[in-house]
Structure 1
């Protein structure tokens, strides 16, 4: 049975940190593919000022185009509502028998406040990106037994910092794939903060 990884995020913009981490997990977990799912509105970032979801989808599509094992879904952005992981996994369960939800350690620590966390666990195994600086890993947490931890490279790239660099007209060539940079420039994204 083929196994797929589900990797959600705002991807505003998607950057090499996302891509390198996804590739590492793809190889270690032996997925058939990873599906990137840009959120419409993250329930934990409701106050966040998002770039248009169609732009975030297109940038994700451009970033992963050269990898046949990466795919992007517009499921969440096409719903025009708060993006709940449970709803996404429920929809994907119609097409995939075995799913693993890829999350960061910071998301595991707050997983109990997610919408229907136990229902999420019925639909997908949690795969947690663990980096060397995740010292909190020793804290007892009720979901640790449900999660598979995967060592991933520590890549200090943040979408927030990238947006600031673009706004300040700084070079971002080593943070973003070239097609994403071209798209940002063409559509004049991140010219305001």
Structure 2
């Protein structure tokens, strides 16, 4: 009889312990979904589609003219998958007609290498993926990066750095004292 009580007690403890330690992601199901009325916006994230809140994703449609460029950039909080629906896009030296995956933090770009328009959809693994455009971050930073540092880093003349900083509206700062 003691063995039966021990077995029942053990099973009860295990059952309650399993219940207490059971864990999973919170449900992404919500009671409502807010529709997006502004069809002009190509990027869909939690800021303009509240129904994405807690789902951990964002979507974007990108239309490229021939030779159109989505400049080098990175997403600090998301991995991106880009599906090419029409046209031919290139990133780095790879030309692809179907899809790309850009891991979180990887600097990437897309260039339409075709003679016709290209259309792509991007899905990002965050409701707030962020975007850092590299040229703007480097040449348009506030406060500006010292021109001597940029000239040495990119191995270009000071005048090139000056020109690029002016393109981004950066006020140049004094050179490093020799």
Query: TM-score normalised to the size of structure 1?
Result: 0.23
Q: Which has the larger radius of gyration?
A: 2
Higher relative contact order (CA 8 A, sep 6+): 1
Higher helix share: 1
Higher strand share: 2
Query: TM-score normalised to the size of structure 2?
Result: 0.24
